[in-house]
Structure 1
Amino acid sequence: MKTAHSDYGKIERILINTAAHAFISQKKIDTEYARLNYLDRPIIDGALSEYRVFENIIAKAGAEVMKLPQKDNTSIDAIYCRDASLATDFGIILCNMGKTDRNVEPENQRAFFQSQGVEILGTIDAPGTVEGGDMCWLDEKTLAIGHTYRTNYSGIEQIKAFLEPKGIEVFVVELPHFRGPSDVFHLMSIISPIDKDLAVVYSPLMPIYFREALLKRNYRLVECPEEEFDSMGCNVLALAPSHCLMVEGNPITQERLVSAGCKVETYNGDNISNLGCGGPTCLTRPLERIV
């Protein structure tokens, strides 16, 4: 069955924003990276090389890859295209970004989706804020959404208004202050579904009620250790059930995934992931999967 309501099924169609289109030039990177709270300055040549490998892995997995066109009005953060939208079986919900430097991205995605004949279900309006990294599908009828500095209650209520009348449960996850408003801390910083009953998690920042809900749903939990949290060991993209992609440099989490029966592929994300704190789930907006 084809559906947008999955974060583990085989990816059939996926949206990306390439490093070439998002970073554009070293001058643009140099102008923006500090203001956007990157850990350090990405190097454009390294980013382009890393992204080619990343894109090839996704293409080899059999996905139809859709690429956003270059837009001069976006910041380098636009490479993390998941955050601007949510794909549903009823159409795309365009987000309203909690990080104000990114507020043009949803409208850019709207124009692209419309040009491709992709239906738009609706838009999150101010004062509501929602970012795609705060949402993941636990199953085809359950969307988890984090209440964070990037996704507020008004935005959550708008997501509910779009989806609950269509029979979708919206499971709200209250996340902690952690490192504060300037940090990129999304729901998917602490959970990545890998299969219908398997997820990578970072339990120290996971609310007890949410962790218990996953166990009640018969999820097996692959624990990301503390020493691999900042290197995005918990940010893992399922290319297909139990076939996943993660950033290099997380050997403990990788071995735990292999022990759980997963095929694991990795990429060097020094410039496209590590410095901007955006792993493979952040770099992609899956639009359709097979479950």
Structure 2
Amino acid sequence: MFVRNGTARLKRVLLSKPEYLKPAPINEIAKKWKSSVLDSEKMLREHEALVNAYKQAGVEIEFLEADPKRPNSVFARDFGGCVKEGYILGRFKLPIRELEQIDYKNKMKMLEIPMIAQVKEGCFEGGDFAFLNEKTIAIGMADRSNERGVEEIQKQLLPYGYDVIPVPLKSEYLHLDMCFNLVDDHLAVAYKEGLPEYFQKYLRKMDIKLVCVPEETIFYHSCNLQSLGCHRVLSLKHNEVVNEALSKEGMEVIPLDITEILKAGGGPHCMTFPLWRE
């Protein structure tokens, strides 16, 4: 068994270091920094802080070696999604990320994690993949995943008993994990008004409580958190309001002082591909 849901105790992850990361203008956040040169040393220190947080939480870490030909591979989440039976290989929309699909596929083969589904005609990136419970998966459709990609996943996961819910979003939000993130079994951080009403009904039906944020905080990664399981979550140090709200809900919040990597458009959730949850 690999990843049975999005909130059980996290035991193993796949990461890649930001050695060659640049603010390519491929999302709303990175566009603001497109003329800047990112501080490579600072980014590596920030990523090491993420690595250390995982180690302290008892999480085993696998790495895909950085490569200048795929500068955005630090955002490991995006090549696909992992479920209990194996993983789903996505299909990147942008040429700058195509090599990631090949190299991450080879890495998963080395790790002996089977591919049980693959998007070949549509587009799908893992930032749009979110468990709601063990058999219900939401997939965002903002800028990088589309209806055809979701249909392919629905068809291929049907034999395994998964219900896959498409969630249309404004393209500016990039991925679902920028405006919605489940942090505990019945708790999520979200920009509520940006979510379709029928999706909100699913959340209410599942008794998922929302810690709500305003739209502008999407672009400061207020929702881009990583659940560690056991009521623990990785967040960003500057997410003070969200972190306080989560603490009041009984969550142990582990703050990360990350700012430079964020300029390329991704946070802790984007940088993490879960391989195993208890």
TM-score tier, shorter chain, comes to over 0.9
Does the CA-based 8 Å contact 2:18-2:66 persist in structure 1? no
Which amino acid in the other structure matches residue 185 of structure 1? L
Aligned to 2:275: 287
- Aligned-pair CA distance for 1:159: 0.4
Distance in 2 (alpha carbons) for counterparts of 1:246 and 1:120: 30
Q: 1:103 aligns with which of 98, 104, 107?
A: 98
1:146 has 2:151 as partner: no
1:64 has 2:52 as partner: no
Aligned to 1:174: 168
Q: 1:248 aligns with which of 224, 237, 245?
A: 237
Note the alpha carbon deviations across 1:175-207, whole angstroms, 9 max, x for none. 134x3xxxx611111111111111111112111
Note the alpha carbon deviations across 1:236-272, whole angstroms, 9 max, x for none. 1111132001122111111110111110011122112
Distance in 2 (alpha carbons) for counterparts of 1:150 and 1:6: 23
TM superposition score normalised by structure 1: 0.88
| Segment drifting more, 162-171 vs 217-226 | 217-226
What secondary structure does 1:121 align onto? strand
1:159 has 2:158 as partner: no
Aligned to 1:43: 39
What secondary structure does 1:9 align onto? coil
Distance in 2 (alpha carbons) for counterparts of 1:241 and 1:228: 26
What secondary structure does 1:66 align onto? strand
Aligned to 1:212: 201
- Aligned-pair CA distance for 1:86: 1.0
Gaps of 5+ in 2: none
Note the alpha carbon deviations across 1:143-191, whole angstroms, 9 max, x for none. 10112221111111110121112111001112134x3xxxx61111111
Note the alpha carbon deviations across 1:89-137, whole angstroms, 9 max, x for none. 22221110123311111110111111222212232113x1000001100
- Aligned-pair CA distance for 1:224: 2.0
Q: 2:254 aligns with which of 265, 277, 290?
A: 265
What secondary structure does 1:4 align onto? coil
Change (3 A) 1:226 1:93: closer
Distance in 1 (alpha carbons) for counterparts of 2:206 and 2:156: 24
TM superposition score normalised by structure 2: 0.92
Distance in 2 (alpha carbons) for counterparts of 1:72 and 1:276: 15
1:17 has 2:27 as partner: no
Identical-residue share of aligned pairs (%):
28
- Aligned-pair CA distance for 1:228: 2.9
CA RMSD of aligned residues (A): 1.7
Change (3 A) 1:227 1:253: farther
1:113 has 2:112 as partner: no
What is the number of equivalent residue pairs in this alignment?
Answer: 272
- Aligned-pair CA distance for 1:72: 3.7
- Aligned-pair CA distance for 1:3: 4.5
Which amino acid in the other structure matches residue 199 of structure 1? A
What secondary structure does 1:107 align onto? helix
Which amino acid in the other structure matches residue 110 of structure 2? S
Change (3 A) 1:49 1:189: same
Q: 1:201 aligns with which of 190, 211, 217?
A: 190
- Aligned-pair CA distance for 1:229: 2.6
Aligned to 2:23: 33
What secondary structure does 1:104 align onto? helix
Gaps of 5+ in 1: 24-28
Change (3 A) 1:98 1:87: same
Does the CA-based 8 Å contact 1:11-1:288 persist in structure 2? yes
